[in-house]
Amino acid sequence: MTGSRELSGEDSLIVRYFKPLATDPGAFGLVDDAAILRTAGEDVVVKTDAIVEGVHFLPDDPPDTVARKALRVNLSDLAAKGAQPAGFVLTLALRRAEDSWLAPFARALGEDAGQFGCPLLGGDTVSTPGPAMISIAALGRVPAGKMVPRAGTKPGDWVMVTGTIGDASLGLDVLKGGVAAEALAGDIAAREMLIARYRVPQPRNALALALREHATAAMDVSDGLAGDLAKLCAASGVSATIDLPRVPLSAAAAGLIGRGVVSLPSLISGGDDYEVMCTVPDARRTEFVEAARQAGVAVAQIGAIVGGNEPPKFLDAQGTAVALQRLSYSHF
């Protein structure tokens, strides 16, 4: 992203829409060719996640929610790793540069950058004949050696998860006119809540310090709780036992399950939750729960890490293991 005296179309849209977001001195107001991040011996945490029109967001999703989702899916990873956001670079691939789309997109992106303390450092805008795609690489900071790993848990650790699970996949179902849309035809508030959960994740960055201090392993739940837990366990060579009745649900999700519209196993295999799953030793459990409370983030204890190499077990209220049809979402 560059400024220039004789503005080409690309330069002009960058100055108009994105320069106001480049509030960090290391961004050089987007008039240089690269940005800098000053360091002082900490570890810089790097994460990139892209969202594609038709895959991660829908063509008629409002541009402000698309912007927020693009940044927040990356902020969610920084949160899970215990990192403090430092800034991000943006690749924006669009068919056309339309003011009516770019203005609300950039405004919302700037609001989120401010809210989460993660300023725009630079980027690239390119034209594409295909669907829009927004790729963000987010940078964060942790004290040296203190990133919360995916590996690191042991049998006996508790498995905790933030927020509620399954709302986003129900929101997508509502937007696509699926079973949840039919069942909630008369409940506009529930429909809107679920759609908002799909469109605008709520990354748990407030929990980063508590995770760094107490968690032995963590990752964000983006491809389904079941599959992501399997990955977390595999990284440490352990297994887990999850009590399905303890999985935190919104009232809307619980209601749909209660009415038999959807099943809990399908919700824990759905994507786009952007909650944090972590493991906490028993000795740290009370402190972690208290730190989470002070950070204003709801956490639920859903099970425990156990020894073994088999996939995690999900037990129903009767203690019977439930078979899952699929663990998570895969792109290929």
Candidates 22, 56, 216, 262; binder of a second copy (CB under 8 A) is: 56
Q: Does 323 contact a second copy by CB under 8 A?
A: no
CB 83 within 8 A of CB 76: no
**Backbone φ and ψ of 196, nearest 5°:** -65, -35
Q: Which stretch binds a second copy (CB under 8 A): 2-10, 162-170, 243-251, 260-268?
A: 2-10
Longest dimension (CA), the chain: 71
Candidates 50, 58, 196, 300; binder of a second copy (CB under 8 A) is: 50
**Shortest Å, Cβ 91 to a second copy:** 4
Output the six-digit token pair for 81.
Answer: 């790793």
Candidates 153, 202, 205, 328; binder of a second copy (CB under 8 A) is: 328
Q: Does 251 contact a second copy by CB under 8 A?
A: no
- Interface characters, 301-320, with a second copy (x: CB under 8 A): --------x-x---------
Q: Is 305 helix (H, G, I), strand (E, B) or coil?
A: strand
Find the binding residues for a second copy in span 57-116 (CB under 8 A).
77-78, 80-81, 83, 87, 89-91, 93, 96-97
Tell me whether residue 113 or residue 142 sits nearer to a second copy (CB atom).
Answer: 142
Q: Is 281 helix (H, G, I), strand (E, B) or coil?
A: coil
CB 79 within 8 A of CB 204: yes
Question: What is d(CA 125, CA 121) in angstroms, rounded to the nearest whole number?
Answer: 14
Reported as type and span, the H/E element at residue 301 is strand 299-306
Tell me whether residue 123 or residue 265 sits nearer to a second copy (CB atom).
Answer: 123
Q: Which stretch binds a second copy (CB under 8 A): 48-56, 104-112, 180-188, 258-266?
A: 48-56
Find the binding residues for a second copy in span 202-241 (CB under 8 A).
219-220, 227, 230-231, 233-235
Tell me whether residue 43 or residue 243 sits nearer to a second copy (CB atom).
Answer: 43
Nearest CA to 301 out of 251, 249, 247 is that of 247
Please, what is the Cα angle at 181 between 177 and 184, to 5 degrees? 165
